[in-house]
Amino acid sequence: MDKAATMDLDRATGARPDMAAARRFMVDGQLRPNKVTDPLLLAAMGDLPRERFLPPGLAARAYADEDVRLPGGRALIEPMVIARLLQLLRLREGDRMLVLGAGTGYAAAVAVRCGARVTAVESDPALFGHARDAVTGLLPAGVLRLVQADPSLGHAPGAPYDAILIEGEIPEIPAAIAEQLAEGGRLATVLAAAERGLSSRAVLGLQQGGSFSVTDAFDCATLPLPQFQPAPGFAF
């Protein structure tokens, strides 16, 4: 029986799952075998209690190797995918980082543990409130700012940023967000497949020499971020 199934059994029988053991299994069984090599990132995800970033009824799914569905059509992205997206950003101590569609705050908290100073933007009031509660007492003061606003606009008051994470699948990267990157800044997100039958893909964007370029990184899938989706057209 795999660890996720064991945790489901614990939940069904009323037993309390061993979350510390589940974190170790996540790092050794999901992250390391899947090209996650950054030691700071591995240490951060091995230490942070991911279960705090889920509603109590979903905490037993915290370390499953799949997205955990949240209310409002959102998700806590699976550990391997969020780790590889963060690894693309090559975070350094003191980097100014923007997280858009921050959900319950897990990726933002991991980035802080990797040395970044983070502004995290979330529009959903319930998810924003959960993020605020989850990070209380977990991170040093002054390194994470939570903002309740539309993530599709970025957060221009804090620009320019060294790194931007758009935490979900989007159809394209808005130019207004790419423009909030500093010279040499990096952006990671998941782009939806352009055609039916193709895979969505994680991408890395770079702001260099006054221009923004995007390269594919790896195939993956997660839920779309609602605020980034095009408005439905009129049918006649």
The domain ranges of the chain are 3-228
Tens of pLDDT, residue by residue, the chain (236 residues): 344 444 443 443 344 569 999 999 999 999 999 999 999 999 999 999 999 999 999 999 999 999 999 988 999 999 999 999 999 999 999 999 999 999 999 999 999 999 999 999 999 999 999 999 999 999 999 999 999 999 999 999 999 999 999 999 999 999 999 999 999 999 999 999 876 667 899 999 999 999 999 999 999 999 999 999 987 654 44
Q: Which of 98, 99, 105 is nearest to 70 (CA)?
A: 105
pLDDT score at 181: 98
> For residues 173 and 190, what is the distance between their CA atoms, to the nearest angstrom?
9
pLDDT score at 84: 98
Structural contact between residues 49 and 81, judged by C-beta atoms closer than 8 angstroms: no
> For residues 50 and 104, what is the distance between their CA atoms, to the nearest angstrom?
10
Sign of the CA dihedral with 127 first, then 133, 135, and 140 last: positive
Helices (H), the chain: 3-13, 19-25, 39-47, 79-88, 106-113, 125-135, 175-178
Q: Which of 153, 152, 136, 156 is nearest to 144 (CA)?
A: 136
Residues sharing a CB contact under 8 Å with residue 107, sequence separation 6 or more, in sequence order: 77, 82, 85, 86, 99, 165, 167
Token code pair at residue 60: 């037993």
Angle of CA points 26, 29, 35, to nearest 5°: 100
What's 198's DSSP letter? S
Token code pair at residue 40: 């700071």
For the domain bounded by 3-228, which CATH number is listed? 3.40.50.150
Other CB atoms within a 10 A radius of the CB of residue 2 amount to 11
**Is residue 107 helix, strand or coil?**
helix
Structural contact between residues 61 and 68, judged by C-beta atoms closer than 8 angstroms: yes
